[in-house]
Chains A and B, each alone.
Chain A
Amino acid sequence: MPGTRRKREIPGTTVFDADQARKGYALNKMCYSFNSAANRAEFLRDEDAYCRKFGLNEAQRDAVRRRDVLALIAAGGNIYYLAKLAGIFGLDVQDIGAQQTGMTKDAFKAKLLAARG
């Protein structure tokens, strides 16, 4: 049964499993709608109304308002769909990487370069 199985912990990592998918469906569905330019424009005209239309809960709406990626993931968001929301705000994957790790973008880029060893 979902939610009762013991899960393997991987530090700093949320696996998009049944619990996340159930929790995040409305949020992810809204993000999926952003494939359409008309929907992106409608969101930008009135964010809260657009979130209500997709039935986001308060935690999800608050995370959208704050552009808080860790909170969006905690609320069930999957990064493949959240990336479409981030794109509306002009945030690329390095911006959201920096935000989630509490670094400046330059420090985040330096961390990536350091992986060259």
Chain B
Amino acid sequence: MATIVGAVTTSHVPAIGAAIARGLEDDPYWQPFFAGYPPVREWLRERRPDVAVVVYNDHGLNFFLDKMPTFAVGAAPQYPNADEGWGIPTLLPVPGDEDLSWHLVESLVEAEFDIVTCQEMLVDHAFTIPLALLWPGDRAREPWPIRAVPICVNTVLFPLPSVRRCYKLGEALGRAIAAWESDARVLLVGTGGLSHQLDGRRAGFINKAFDLLFMDKLVSDPQWITQYGILDLVELTGTQGVELLNWVIARAALPGAVRKVHAHYHIPISNTAAGLLALAADS
């Protein structure tokens, strides 16, 4: 059976992609952000995941409002990145894992999650930037050292799935991965957040106290977040802060107790409170 090694959750701001492309990791603005990642990379080198299940939200690259799935699962041999319209470099396609994809599709539908299945899927910065942070390199030229399966969550068009529903999806995902007949080592990745709001007169809203509490609770009491409704989260974390749903799904997929490997929090990157959390599932 497959082994779940843990979960890494991280923000996915587009400007990070531009900073990586320009080699700004040691720039005074960027250094306090990038400084969070080396301990997580080291842990990944030790735990050697073969495939990452990446829970993220699309920002209008693969999905538009003509067809907006609540939950979509990629089942493609590879996942190309493409022009998103604002000049961050296009990276090489990320190789998929079709066996795992179809196992997840079958398992999730069996568990009564009526997901959308995608045999072709473009992936945007919310998918590629976290992978580029975890496996650094010139990904416009050098192949990715990891396979991946995208799980895309609607955080754009309301109604969004409830926090409770996302938590249950995560649990079903974890059970499915654990039952996959494979020797592969699987990492969960949840991307987006933490608190930020790009739109409206409340643009620039950040809630440090809530973010830090959320990160703590994600380690020790992950169900805590399910007490909130989606509009509570909009109020507490901003209109785009609701991307933390992706973190919830990734965390809920971990079976049993977890160990915190590393946590990092930095304000701001662009308009966003940038969070990073790595959890080992080695109970």
Residues of A within 8 A of B (CB): 8, 10-18, 21, 25, 28-29, 31-32, 34-37, 40, 69-70, 73, 78-84, 87-88, 92-94, 96-97, 100-101, 108, 111-113, 115-117
Contact = CB atoms under 8 A, between A and B. Distances in A.
Given A21-B157, A78-B156, A12 B83 contact: no
Interface of B: 15, 59-61, 64-66, 82-87, 156-159, 197-209, 231, 234-235, 239-240, 267-268, 270-271, 273
Given A16-B158, A25-B65, A40 B85 contact: yes
Nearest to B156: A80
A35 B61 contact: yes
Given A8-B231, A69-B199, A84-B60, A97 B271 contact: yes
Given A70-B200, A79-B199, A112-B267, A35 B83 contact: yes
Given A25-B65, A40-B85, A115 B273 contact: yes
Nearest to A109: B268
**Chain A interface, >50% SS class:** helix
Given A14-B200, A28-B65, A69-B199, A93 B271 contact: yes
A73 B64 contact: no
Contacts of A10: 202, 231, 234-235
A117 B87 CA distance: 33
B208 A117 contact: yes
Contacts, number: 123
A115 B238 CA distance: 13
B199 A14 contact: yes
Given A16-B158, A112-B271, A115-B208, A100 B83 contact: no
Given A8-B231, A116-B208, A79 B83 contact: no
A73 B200 contact: yes
B267 A115 contact: yes
A48 B269 CA distance: 34
A104 B156 CA distance: 28
Contacts of A11: 201-202
Contacts of B205: 12
Contacts of B201: 11-12, 70, 100-101
Nearest to B209: A117
A112 B199 contact: no
Contacts of B199: 13-14, 69, 73, 79, 82, 100
Contacts of B87: 87
Contacts of A13: 197, 199-200, 202, 234-235, 239
A28 B209 CA distance: 34
A84 B86 contact: yes
A82 B59 CA distance: 11
Given A35-B60, A70-B200, A112-B204, A79 B271 contact: no
Contacts of B61: 35
Contacts of B200: 12-14, 70, 73, 100
Question: What 10 pairs across the A-B complex have the smallest Cβ distances?
Answer: A12-B202, A87-B86, A12-B201, A115-B206, A84-B85, A79-B199, A97-B203, A112-B268, A17-B158, A34-B85
